[in-house]
Amino acid sequence: MAPPAPEAPENSSHTATVAGVPVDTRHWIGGRRVASASGATFTDDSPLDGTPLAEIARGGAEEARAAVAAAREAFPGWAATPPTERARLLHAVADGVEARTEDLAAVETADNGALLRSHRRGVMPRVAHNLRYFADRLLALAHDDFETRGHTNHVSWDPAGPAVLITPWNAPLMLASWKTGPALAAGSTVVLKPSEWTPLTASLFADIAHEAGLPAGVFNVVQGYGAEAGAPLVADPGVRRISFTGSVPTARRIAATAAERLVPCSFELGGKSPLLVFADADPELAADLAVEQFDNAGQVCLAATRILVEESARDAFLGHILDRVTKLTQGDPRDEATDVGPNIHPRHVERVDGFVRRALDAGAKAVIGGGPNTALGGNYYLPTLLTDVDQDSEIVQEEVFGPVLTLQTFPDGDEDEAVRLANGTRFGLAATLATGDRERAARVSARLVAGTVWVNCFFVRDLSAPFGGSRDSGIGREGGDWSFDFYCDLKNTVTAPMGPPLLERSRELGEGRARHG
């Protein structure tokens, strides 16, 4: 068991009480709490009502260097730690997450505005599940040996080195565990930079990991802005892997920096996913799938925000979805009855509303919503559905990342046009398909450009499956063994036959290869 972390005094300026939970606002570097060398902080506001939650240590180049140095120093020991022990420690961290589910859920709801009931029942249990899955997968990681002209090939996964993990604000701890779990299981050490809009549960997670016995320097947290903390982290020569979830422009900058040192990157970026609804689909199911896209106030990269409906099914579909949206309750995410909470930040609400206003000015019609929820004020935006939009319009082509859907139609029976519209953006993260025809489902799914295709369902994700995007939606795949392929250096060891008679035969084989090139 690791020694107790340095405790901040109860009334320390380094501790904020959020939803009744004490949260240390300093970085976690090398197994201890570290204030920013400059003394600078930034304010973390709650999306619920805009009130300040905490003053967070604002990291920069010095904290980035220190965190990577700590990860480098800890790497040899962690890489040499037997897989069974690494797995045990990850299970211990998962135990800690489960023990603090209520605290984590309450803090994350205050920090990012997602539903408290979802955090309690789904998100935080998934955090623990992510850690347990990769711990168990590590112990099952294997490739069958194979023979080549009498020689044995043995494939192994060697820990790659310190990994910088940069996570977004829409599912802060869940996405952090999705990256941290496989990186630590693989034997790599980690520097996590959470979003400046949602840093709090990353700090709690550092406490949990420490209490579980994770060695100093194996897991580090640097808080701050991308330009000040993220940029020096990805540029540090000690970093051997970079995993980033966020925007396409930021990913391009990271990729350019990483390219100078040939550091492998994994990017999960934006989406503009389609929901294709054929006339033979179950209309109730299709409407349910559409309404699911308002989950987390539309702040989900996988959301199928472009609804493409077969013309003959349009009116019935609209009737069903209108009925469902009118039954949604928008309000305080801490209330069990709430279905749609606030968006993350006033600047983000302005961005979402800008997309909608420009679409309306261009001729779109809002059949549902169309602006902020003035009754609630603040960061609440009405669930919105826009019709009369063109395929090449901004609202169809660009990711809004809010509770805004568009509806287009395609001619009856015209799968080619449905696929053309579905594939008609620069993104390719996911696609959802509603149909009652099994053969059509197979035909259309095969033609969709997407990392994940859901047929008559949505957001069913198994950690054994590859996850990632095509086109501008990302680079690489994670999940299952694909995560270990990323966070490790794969090695193939080729062993010649042993013993004098076999050694002579091995030389003969070698001479034969030399003669024949």
Q: Give Cβ neighbours of residue 99 (< 8 Å, ≥ 6 apart).
A: none
Cα separation, 74 vs 218, in Å, equals 6
CB 113 within 8 A of CB 338: no
Q: What is the DSSP letter of 295?
A: G
In 3D, which of 247, 135, 123, 215 has the Cα closest to residue 176? 123
List the helix and strand counts (H, then E) for the chain.
Answer: 17, 24
Four-point Cα dihedral 258, 263, 269, 275, nearest 10 = 140
Q: Burial, 397: exposed, middle or buried (Cβ in 10 Å; 0-12, 13-18, 19+)?
A: middle
In 3D, which of 482, 435, 476, 477 has the Cα closest to residue 454? 435
Q: Give Cβ neighbours of residue 12 (< 8 Å, ≥ 6 apart).
A: none
The catalytic position among 268, 310, 399, 478 is 268
The DSSP-derived string for 436-485 is: S-HHHHHHHHHH---SEEEES------TTS-B--EETTEES-BSHHHHHH
Four-point Cα dihedral 325, 198, 103, 41, nearest 10 = -150
In 3D, which of 187, 185, 217 has the Cα closest to residue 69? 217
Cα separation, 165 vs 244, in Å, equals 6
Orientation angle between helical segments 172-185 and 200-211, nearest 10 degrees = 40
User: Is 398 part of the annotated catalytic residue set?
Assistant: no
In 3D, which of 290, 329, 297, 321 has the Cα closest to residue 402? 297
Report which residue type is found at 491. K
In 3D, which of 94, 120, 96 has the Cα closest to residue 107? 120
The catalytic position among 108, 211, 265, 301 is 301
User: Is 268 part of the annotated catalytic residue set?
Assistant: yes
In 3D, which of 457, 456, 465 has the Cα closest to residue 483? 465
Cα separations in angstroms, 278 against 282, 407, 417, 436: 9, 13, 12, 8
Cα separation, 266 vs 326, in Å, equals 40
Q: What is the DSSP letter of 280?
A: T
Please report the sign of the dihedral spanned by the C-alpha atoms of residue 510, residue 511, residue 514, residue 516. negative
Tokens of 227: 């330009």
Cα separation, 225 vs 231, in Å, equals 9
Active site residues: 268, 301
